[in-house]
Amino acid sequence: MRRFASVRPALLVFLGAFAGCVSWALWYRVTGSNPPLGIAIGLSVGGLILFGTRLWPLLIVAVLVTYWMFDVHYSLATQLASAIGLAGGSLLTATMIQRRGIRPAELLDPRSLLWVFAAAIAGSALSAGVVALGVLAVGRSFSLLDKFAQQGLGMLLVAPLVLVWATPPRQRWSALRWAGFVATMIFCAAVAALVFLAPDSGPIGGAIFPPLVLAALGWHLRGATTAVAISSVIMLWSAEIHTGPFSLAAPQHQVMIAQMFVAVTAATIFLLATYADGRHAEDKLRLAAKRLEVSRRNLTNMARDSATAVAILDRDLRYIAASPRYLKDFHLPLDVPLEGRTHFEVFPGIEPERHANYQRVLNGEQLSGDSQPFTNPDGSIDYVRWSQRPWYDEDDRIAGIVLSSEIVTAEMEARRKLEEAERRYRTVFEQAGVGVGRLSLQGEILEINDRGCEICGYPREVLIGRNLSEFGVAEEAQSTVKAIDAMVRGEENFFSGDRMLHTGDGIVRPIHCTANIVRAGGGASDYIAVVMLDISQRVAAQQALEKSEKMLRLAQEAAGVGMWEIDLIDGGSRQSPETARMFGLEWREGEYRMADIAAPMGEAQVLALRQAIGNARKSEGPLDMTLALTLPGGEARWVTLQGHYDAHDGHPRLIGLAIDITRDMEADAQLREVHEKLLRLARLNAMGAMASTLAHELNQPLAAITNYLEACRYLTRSRGDPDHSILDALDRARVQALRAGDIIRKIRSFTVTGDVAKTRMDLNAVVRAACAAVRQLKVAAGARIDCDFDPIQACLIGDSLQIEQVVSNLIRNGVEATAGCERREVVVTSYLEGEEVCVQVADTGPGLSETMLENLFEPFRTTKESGTGLGLPICRTIVEAHGGRLWAENGPDGGAVFSFTLPTVSADAETA
């Protein structure tokens, strides 16, 4: 295929000239005269313009081959003259047209047409002259004018036809347009035949122009050249056979007149077609320019809005648009527009080879580069990953270059650092004093240094490819596999621990092994890095030390004594395991700071301990201090520190013992608690006796009050018109006196015997009575007491007076708690819950502190100035005597909530 492509131009030039010569030979054989149209020279000129003038020798060969094939009886001189004349005239015409810079598509352009005519005249004259010399040399007659007209007409008609059809059209024709073209050509041929081939036709040659004009306007140069060629052949043939309008002239002048008519017609139609084609091209150009402007505007907006570094240049390498990232990456000023400036003006230091690259892109190539250095306008150097590709206009022609780039300076720096780190790693790996190796994710040894081989006791070639677990002891094999799997799954970041290793020397060597997963760039596990350290000497010393420390620890634990040492220079301390246990710490070999033991001691004792240490240092005397510790689990412990000052060769310290005295302190606390309980019991007994005595003594005054009230009622009624308001007040006073007496009797009975009256009671009525009693008190002035009862009536058995006293006491406490508050409210709520009824008394006071909640129901505990501390304990006793329970808590919205429950009974149980 490549060989054929190289010879294809020469073959086409030869075949074109040969076809033209064959047409001449056939015409001559049929008519006996030379044709009036030089088809051969027209095809030759077109071939040389298209494929190059260097192929002119093929024209001579084509003429000589034609003479040989048709056996024309011309002398060799005549044949050579015809061949040289054809080649010389074609070469001269083609050379003049090319030297003028006229492209094939511009051959019929009005601006080029005069030069084309001049070239055709010059070529025709040369060809006719050379042929005339050859013919005259053999003594034959020859008409120079006829030959000149024949060659010139051939150039004017055939060469444009060849060049127009050889040049790609501006737009592809559809099938319908092809059909119209063929119909128009047939119409032109029919009109030409009707006008010029009629035997008795009149002078109506102008009738050929309408179809030719139609072809020129409708199909431009292709239609004009084809229609003119078809019509010209018919017109010239009519002159040969003496028909049509040309038959009116003398026979010797008919061909010449026909040639002149054809030349004028061709020139007119060609100019018309060129004008129509130019107008059409201008319309298309305006439309294309408009579309190009829209595309360029869209492309410009896209480039300006792009988040990447993008710039768009035209064919002259002038900037059309550039993205902000492009300006930023190449250190260009953001306030100076690039549009209209050339690329070389913006970057004057561009290397010469870049110029060639841009030209290659404008020729249709796409170029790219990776990590290439680029000098910015400010002199700094960046590494750039770039690509350059052409962009096209509406006619699919390259309109410019799209530049896209990415600054990879940071990436290059990271790569350099990575290579440096790799070099350092390799140095450390080979020269490390510990064993270093790389394992696969399954534990196989991929790489190991010399020290690792020494620790394992095997040469490197034996170790590579074997699993590290093969050298471990059987007891640790499973845990090693689990550790590797945990790291691979991402459950553990690294492994660090001691292992036993079977060496090639036949011994078991203790090593400390550290391993971690090394991950690839995407985060996937790549391999395991392992570091091995021979700890044989350390293990032996550690075992001896552990044995000694174990004996000391046993002695300390048996005695409950620990040792401590405080460095008076840097403030650190060391503790024995027993001392660390006392402070609730995990023992370690290193130093402890005061912050490590501050939590169990508290801030106050920390300050006291610091002061005691400072005093011992100043006085160089002893340290004796007892600490109360609260361990993290809530356990309380007491420890006494006893120590003395030690100069210790210029590095002073305090050393001493820590003695756990928790048991002694707990025994003292228990003794004090028993003593306090005895005192409270004695006080309770005294209070019980006092309550019984008061109840007994108050019965008589209450009875007297009742009698006096009855006397007052009698005297008031005995009057003629008694005041009923006075009688009503006396009745209420009498009821309250009787109620007070009843309460005192029952309290006395409950205090002495602890018995509760078992009667049915209405809890709602009891609560209402308690609320009414508290509302009458002075302390309840301004307070709001609300009740919210469960709609389901519960059946309760008990002493209603005692329960009323409980509710009254709780409501009164709530009212007193709201004193001084902006909102003074007490809400009493009752609701049924299972087999119990619950009563809640909630207030809007400040609530209860944690200290109050701990001992709220203990006797003689009170926050009131005039309180006895017996109200709440008696209430709890009454509730518990009824089978319920009483407790207190803080409400979710603030205030205190006192709640107690009472058991309910069924109707059957009540009846029984």
Give 620's contacts (C-beta < 8 A, 6+ positions apart): 645, 647
pLDDT band at 843 (very low <50, low <70, confident <90, very high): very high
Task: Give residue 581's pLDDT.
Answer: 77
871 and 864 in contact (C-beta within 8 Å)? Answer: no
Q: Which residues of 154-164 are buried (b: 16+ CB within 10 A; e: fewer)?
A: bbbbbbbbbbb
How far apart, in whole angstroms, are the C-alpha atoms of residue 657 and residue 579? 8
Mean local confidence (pLDDT), 320-327: 80
Q: What is the pLDDT of residues 539-551, one digit of tens each?
A: 777 777 777 666 6
Task: Give residue 139's pLDDT.
Answer: 61
How far apart, in whole angstroms, are the C-alpha atoms of residue 823 and residue 61? 127
Whole-number mean pLDDT of the chain? 76
Percent of the chain predicted with pLDDT > 70: 76
Q: What is the pLDDT of residues 87-132, one digit of tens each?
A: 888 788 778 877 776 666 666 666 666 677 777 777 777 877 777 7
Sign of CA dihedral 55, 56, 57, 59: positive
Residue 704, SS3? helix
Alpha-carbon distances of 739 from 52, 303, 706, 733, 736, rounded to whole Å: 141, 100, 11, 10, 5
**Helices 76-99/39-51 angle, 10° precision:** 50
Q: What is the pLDDT of residues 282-319, one digit of tens each?
A: 666 566 566 656 666 666 665 555 657 888 888 888 88
Q: What is the pLDDT of residues 581-626, one digit of tens each?
A: 777 787 777 788 877 777 888 888 888 888 888 888 888 888 888 8
User: Residue 96 carries which side chain, given as an amino acid letter?
Assistant: M
Alpha-carbon distances of 885 from 754, 762, 770, 847, rounded to whole Å: 16, 19, 19, 21
pLDDT band at 171 (very low <50, low <70, confident <90, very high): low
How far apart, in whole angstroms, are the C-alpha atoms of residue 762 and residue 672? 46
pLDDT band at 202 (very low <50, low <70, confident <90, very high): low
386 or 377, greater pLDDT: 386
Task: Give residue 838's pLDDT.
Answer: 93
pLDDT band at 566 (very low <50, low <70, confident <90, very high): confident
Sign of CA dihedral 481, 483, 484, 490: positive
Q: What is the pLDDT of residues 127-147, one digit of tens each?
A: 777 777 766 766 666 666 767
Give 750's contacts (C-beta < 8 A, 6+ positions apart): 756, 802, 878, 881
Burial class (CB in 10 A: 0-12, 13-18, 19+), 364: exposed
pLDDT band at 840 (very low <50, low <70, confident <90, very high): very high
Q: What is the pLDDT of residues 636-648, one digit of tens each?
A: 888 888 888 887 7
> Minimum mean pLDDT among 144-153, 526-535, 801-810, 891-900: which range?
144-153
Alpha-carbon distances of 222 from 40, 183, 324, 375, rounded to whole Å: 20, 14, 50, 54
Is pLDDT of 679 > 60? no
What's the pTM value of the predicted model, to 2 decimals?
A: 0.34
How far apart, in whole angstroms, are the C-alpha atoms of residue 333 and residue 345? 14
Task: Give residue 898's pLDDT.
Answer: 92
Is pLDDT of 461 > 60? yes
> Minimum mean pLDDT among 275-279, 365-369, 519-523: which range?
275-279
How far apart, in whole angstroms, are the C-alpha atoms of residue 204 and residue 260? 16
pLDDT band at 417 (very low <50, low <70, confident <90, very high): confident
Residue 836, SS3? strand
Is pLDDT of 687 > 80? no
138 and 26 in contact (C-beta within 8 Å)? Answer: no
45 and 155 in contact (C-beta within 8 Å)? Answer: yes
How far apart, in whole angstroms, are the C-alpha atoms of residue 128 and residue 154? 12
DSSP secondary structure code for residue 626 in this structure? E
Is pLDDT of 682 > 60? no
Burial class (CB in 10 A: 0-12, 13-18, 19+), 357: middle
Partnered with residue 896 across adjacent β-strands are 890
Is pLDDT of 815 > 60? yes
Mean local confidence (pLDDT), 401-427: 77
How far apart, in whole angstroms, are the C-alpha atoms of residue 440 and residue 724? 109
Is pLDDT of 762 > 80? yes
